[in-house]
Amino acid sequence: MRLHESLEDMMNNEKIFLGIELGSTRIKAVLINEGFETVGSAGFDWENRFESGIWTYHLDDVWIGLQECCRQLSGKLESIDCIGISAMMHGYLPFDKDDNLLAGFRTWRNTMTGEAADILTEKFGFNIPQRWSIAHLYQAMLNGEEHVGEIAFLTTLAGYVHYKLTGDKVIGIGDASGMFPIDSAAGNYDAGMLQKFNELVAGEGFGWELADILPKVFGAGDGTGALTDEGAMLLDPTGGLPAGIPVCPPEGDAGTGMVATNAVAVRTGNISAGTSVFAMIVLEHELSKLYTQIDMVTTPTGRPVAMVHCNNCTSDLDAWVQLFGETAALLGADTEKTALYNALYREALAGDDDGGGMFACNYLSGEHTTGFDEGRPLFARMPDSQFTLANFMRTILFSTMATLKLGMDILTEQENVKLEQLLGHGGLFKTKEVGQRLMAAALNVPVAVMESAGEGGAWGIALLAAYTAQKSEGETLEKYLEEKVFSRTQVTRIEPEEKDIKGFERFMERYKAGLAIERAAVDSLKL
The β-bridge partners of 450 are 491
pLDDT 10s digits, 245-265: 999 999 999 899 899 889 998
26: number of Cβ within 10 Å: 19
3-state DSSP assignment of residue 324: helix
247, 246, 241, 361: which is closest to 311 by C-alpha?
Answer: 361
Q: What is the CA radius of gyration of the chain?
A: 22
pLDDT 10s digits, 484-512: 999 888 889 999 999 999 999 999 999 99
d(CA 329, CA 83): 41
pLDDT 10s digits, 352-373: 999 999 999 999 999 988 999 9
CATH code at 91-155+180-213:
3.30.420.40
Going by pLDDT thresholds of 50, 70 and 90, the confidence category of residue 343 is very high
pTM of the model: 0.80
Going by pLDDT thresholds of 50, 70 and 90, the confidence category of residue 42 is very high
For residues 45 and 26, is the Cβ–Cβ distance under 8 A?
yes
Q: What percent of the chain lies above the pLDDT cut of 70?
A: 97
Going by pLDDT thresholds of 50, 70 and 90, the confidence category of residue 455 is low
The runs of H, that is alpha helices, within 143-279 are 157-166, 173-176, 191-200, 210-213, 229-235, 253-260
Mean pLDDT, the chain, integer:
93
d(CA 327, CA 318): 14
Q: Residue 63: CB partners within 8 Å, gap ≥ 6?
A: 234
Instruction: Give CA angle at 48 (367, 137), nearest 5°.
Output: 65
Helices 133-142 and 191-200 meet at what angle, rounded to 10? Answer: 10
pLDDT 10s digits, 127-139: 999 999 999 999 9
In angstroms, how far is CA 425 from the centroid of its own chain? 11
Residue 44 CA neighbour count, 13 Å, CB half = 19
pLDDT 10s digits, 76-121: 887 899 999 999 999 999 999 999 999 999 999 898 999 999 999 9
Confidence at residue 426, expressed as pLDDT on a 0 to 100 scale: 83
